[in-house]
């Protein structure tokens, strides 16, 4: 796999502030991977997202997307097309009076010709299963549907990277599953790289790698199994251990001879079953 | 204060092509001191219902009584200010709730609007900022220059600063980091007990509903679909599924274990600790 995105020693401070919001952040992201980003409130996740698509520019260091730099003004617009961001609040992101107009508006901004636009709109709403709703007013959709339309709008830009900034945190569990399934399909079938900012530990568990931010710095970057078995790292970063890890620990306290912590329910059930049939 | 809701109905945009019947025939009694969890999928009417409780929305038909204050569909315009002093709502989208230039002023607004002195309001703002886990420095920042989770904490602080008798929380922990989520839920729970509040928590977390609520109301398609104590509600998995809801993780795990091993357990509490105890009994030769 090749590197699609590189963040090189980036620091950033909001103009009116004294504290840096990001401090010497370095990371890279592989093409086609699903990277979860997590960390305490105010740790710099959304700031990082805005630096990745050039909405904010670094004070020092640089951000490179497929060989383009956000600090090169003439490459910035192309980076914004390639890196699409879906934000948290489904109500604040619509401008059009119908789903179709809304997606079209975004494409006009990128100068997509009309014929091509129609083709892309049709294709992108199909991808997210919203083709029945092209003429609906976005505000009358459910939260999960709104987020899928927002994703369709970004898909139509033909991005290489989709960033979800807590895009499912306002949704009910069903809506959340729906949206994540939609993105997972795009990730698998179209090879789109996904960077998902989330406080949902179960979601982070199912990604390729996890980035933990702590007070503006990268505190860890690695496989979910390495990150979530490191209890002190997790608690220090304001996170929590996943359900199955907690249950593994409590079971041991109760005298069940488990030899380690398990990350998912499936693994833990299997381990318990092995113990039981062996005894 | 006791809350009485009778045959409440709410229509959005009546008479327009977008008319929508969002609440149908809701009758509900919530007695003073109850911690009630309100659950249901998106669009089931939770937010519409709670916005009736301080008069932000008016019933299309039916009536509401909050303690001594009662009103019904078609009543003349009432002065809701005395009620709003006692009923604090943390809205689903915190940024809709914030508007002052600084965090401190935002938190002071509620108390001052209801007649507290500036000194008292400042005092409370300071106290609340630390209570909700924000660093002191944020008090001079614009609330709009905060991160999503920080904004939510400010909105919570603003409501708590009014010292309401009834605390209504519309998905208050969405967007909070996991340790913040636990802290804030514990904070609500402690306030509920210490100040003898009546608390209504709208949540998508079955774990929180199971852990904190005395009673659970399940909404589905604008109606009250189920009502009962957590143990009753979470025994009815099939019915919950009809309302597109899940059971808590502990129950989910028990079901997986039952499918694998054939062992059955009943949980009276839905905590990880009590699940571990139940499962461990198989190893101690207790239950199996
Ligand atoms: N527009 C802004 N102006 C000034 N400071 C800001 C601005 N936006 C964010 N900050 C500050 O920068 C830091 C990082 O904020 P950021 O929004 O990146 O956090 P986050 O990790 O996304 O948090 P959350 O989990 O709450 O969404 C915080 O201290 C925040 O208060
Ligand atoms: N301001 C509004 N105008 C028109 N319809 C609305 C409005 N707010 C909510 N609705 C509709 O009322 C129903 C209930 O919504 P809501 O109370 O927000 O549900 P919940 O909080 O359970 O997700 C939904 O069908 C929703 O689309
Ligand atoms: Mg954020
Ligand atoms: Mg709602």
- CATH classification at residue A232: 3.40.50.300
Are A19 and A53 members of one domain?
Answer: yes
Q: Atom 6 of ligand 1 has which residue's CA nearest to it?
A: B145
Number of domains chain A contains:
2
- A120 lies in a domain? no
Are A81 and A161 members of one domain?
Answer: yes
DSSP A69-109: ETTSHHHHHHHHHHEEEE-S-GGGS--SSSHHHHHHHHHHH
| pLDDT reading at B286 higher than 80 | no
Nearest chain A residue (CA) to B272: A247
Which single residue is written with the structure tokens 């914030």?
B98
**B174 band by pLDDT with thresholds 50, 70 and 90:** confident
Are A23 and A70 members of one domain?
Answer: yes
Q: A58: part of which helix (H) or strand (E)?
A: none
> What is residue B288's predicted lDDT score, i.e. its pLDDT?
43
Are A268 and A165 members of one domain?
Answer: no
- A104 lies in a domain? no
Are A16 and A83 members of one domain?
Answer: yes
Strand order in the sheet with A209-214: A83-86, A161-165, A193-197, A34-39, A209-214, A217-222
> What is residue A144's predicted lDDT score, i.e. its pLDDT?
81
Q: Are strands A60-65 and A68-69 parallel, antiparallel or unpaired?
A: antiparallel
Average pLDDT over residues A58-87: 95
Does the distance separating the beta carbons of B145 and A251 come in below 8 Å? Answer: no
Which residue of B177, B240, B251, B271 to mutate against A (max A Cβ within 10 Å)? B177
Average pLDDT, rounded, for chain B: 93
**Shortest-distance ligand to the CA of residue B40:** 2
**B177/A contact by beta carbon, under 8 A:** yes
Are A13 and A76 members of one domain?
Answer: yes
Q: Which domain holds residue A191?
A: 3-92+156-240
Instruction: List chain B domain ranges.
Output: 3-247, 248-288
Are A233 and A267 members of one domain?
Answer: no
> What is residue A214's predicted lDDT score, i.e. its pLDDT?
96
Q: Are B203 and B210 in contact (CB under 8 A)?
A: no
**Does residue B40 have its Cβ closer than 6 Å to ligand 2?**
yes
Closest by alpha carbon to B226, among B53, B34, B2, B39? B39
Are A227 and A175 members of one domain?
Answer: yes
**Does residue A14 have its Cβ closer than 6 Å to ligand 1?**
yes
- A147 lies in a domain? no
Query: Hey, what CATH topology would domain B3-247 get?
Result: Rossmann fold (3.40.50)
pLDDT digits (tens, 9 = 90+) for B234-254: 999 999 999 989 899 999 999
Are A17 and A45 members of one domain?
Answer: yes
In chain B, positions 15-74, which contact chain A (CB-CB < 8 Å)? 18, 40-43
- A113 lies in a domain? no
Average pLDDT over residues A209-220: 97
pLDDT digits (tens, 9 = 90+) for B3-44: 999 999 999 989 988 888 999 999 999 999 999 999 998 889
DSSP B39-61: E--TTSSHHHHHHTTTTSS--SE
**A92 band by pLDDT with thresholds 50, 70 and 90:** confident
Average pLDDT, rounded, for chain A: 92
Q: Are strands A68-69 and A22-30 parallel, antiparallel or unpaired?
A: unpaired
Are A160 and A268 members of one domain?
Answer: no
> What is residue B285's predicted lDDT score, i.e. its pLDDT?
62
Does the distance separating the beta carbons of B153 and A269 come in below 8 Å? Answer: no
pLDDT digits (tens, 9 = 90+) for A2-51: 999 999 999 999 998 999 999 999 999 999 999 999 999 999 999 999 99
| pLDDT reading at B287 higher than 50 | no
Q: What percent of chain B has pLDDT over 70?
A: 99
Q: Are B100 and B143 in contact (CB under 8 A)?
A: yes
Average pLDDT over residues A126-151: 88
> What is residue B76's predicted lDDT score, i.e. its pLDDT?
85
The HSE-up count of residue A208 (CA atoms within 13 Å, CB side) is 14
Q: Are strands A3-12 and A60-65 parallel, antiparallel or unpaired?
A: antiparallel
**Does residue B147 have its Cβ closer than 6 Å to ligand 1?**
yes
Please state the pTM of the whole predicted model.
Answer: 0.90
Compute the Cα dihedral for A150, A153, A155, A161 and give only its sign. negative
> What is residue B79's predicted lDDT score, i.e. its pLDDT?
87
């Amino acid at each position: 796999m090749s590197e699609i995105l590189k963040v090189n020693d980036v620091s950033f401070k909001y103009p009116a502030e004294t504290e840096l919001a990001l401090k010497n952040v370095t990371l890279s992201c592989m093409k086609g991977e699903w990277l979860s980003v997590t960390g305490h409130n105010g740790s710099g996740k959304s700031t990082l997202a805005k630096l990745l698509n050039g909405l904010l520019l670094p004070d020092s260091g640089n951000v490179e997307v497929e060989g383009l730099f956000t600090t090169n003004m003439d490459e910035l617009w192309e980076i914004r097309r390639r890196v699409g961001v879906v934000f948290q609040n489904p109500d604040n992101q619509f401008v059009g009076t119908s789903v179709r107009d809304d997606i079209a508006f975004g494409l006009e901004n990128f100068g997509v010709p009309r014929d091509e636009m129609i083709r892309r709109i049709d294709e992108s709403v199909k991808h997210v299963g919203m083709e029945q709703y092209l003429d609906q007013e976005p505000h009358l959709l459910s939260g999960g549907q709104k987020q899928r339309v927002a994703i369709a709008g970004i898909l139509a830009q033909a991005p290489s990277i989709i960033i979800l900034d807590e895009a499912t945190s306002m949704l009910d569990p069903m809506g959340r599953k729906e949206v994540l399934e939609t993105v997972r399909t795009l990730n698998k079938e179209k090879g789109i790289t996904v960077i998902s900012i989330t406080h949902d530990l179960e979601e982070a568990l199912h990604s390729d790698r996890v980035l933990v931010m702590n007070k503006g710095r990268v505190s860890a970057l690695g496989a979910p199994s390495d990150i979530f078995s490191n209890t002190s790292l997790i608690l220090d970063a304001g996170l929590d251990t996943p359900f199955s890890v907690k249950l593994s620990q409590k079971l041991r306290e109760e005298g069940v001879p488990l030899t380690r912590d398990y990350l998912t329910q499936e693994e833990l059930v299997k381990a318990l079953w092995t113990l039981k049939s062996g005894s | 204060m006791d809350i009485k809701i009778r045959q409440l109905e709410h229509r959005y945009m009546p008479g327009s092509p977008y008319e929508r019947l969002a609440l149908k025939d809701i009758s509900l009694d919530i007695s003073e001191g109850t911690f009630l969890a309100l659950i249901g999928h998106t669009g089931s009417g939770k937010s519409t219902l709670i916005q009736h409780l301080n008069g932000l929305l008016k019933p299309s038909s039916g009536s509401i009584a909050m303690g001594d204050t009662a009103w019904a569909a078609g009543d003349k315009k009432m002065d809701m200010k005395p009620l709003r002093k006692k009923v604090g709502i943390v809205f689903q989208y915190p940024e809709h709730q914030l508007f002052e230039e600084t965090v401190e002023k935002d938190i002071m607004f509620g108390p001052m609007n209801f007649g507290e002195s500036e000194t008292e309001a400042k005092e409370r703002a300071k106290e609340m900022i630390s209570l909700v886990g924000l660093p002191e420095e944020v008090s001079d920042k614009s609330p709009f220059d905060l991160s999503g989770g920080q904004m939510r904490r400010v909105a919570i602080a603003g409501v708590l600063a009014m010292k309401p008798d009834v605390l209504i929380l519309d998905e208050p922990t969405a967007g909070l980091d996991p340790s913040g989520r636990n802290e804030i839920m514990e904070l609500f729970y402690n306030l509920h007990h210490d100040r003898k509040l009546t608390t209504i928590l709208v949540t998508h977390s079955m774990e929180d509903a199971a852990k904190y609520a005395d009673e659970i109301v399940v909404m589905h398609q604008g109606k009250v679909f189920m009502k009962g104590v957590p143990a009753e509600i979470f025994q009815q998995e099939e019915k919950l599924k009809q309302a597109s809801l899940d059971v808590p993780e502990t129950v989910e795990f028990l079901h997986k274990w039952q499918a694998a091993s054939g062992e059955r357990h009943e949980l009276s509490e839905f905590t990880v600790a009590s699940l571990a105890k139940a499962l461990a009994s198989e190893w101690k030769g207790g239950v199996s």
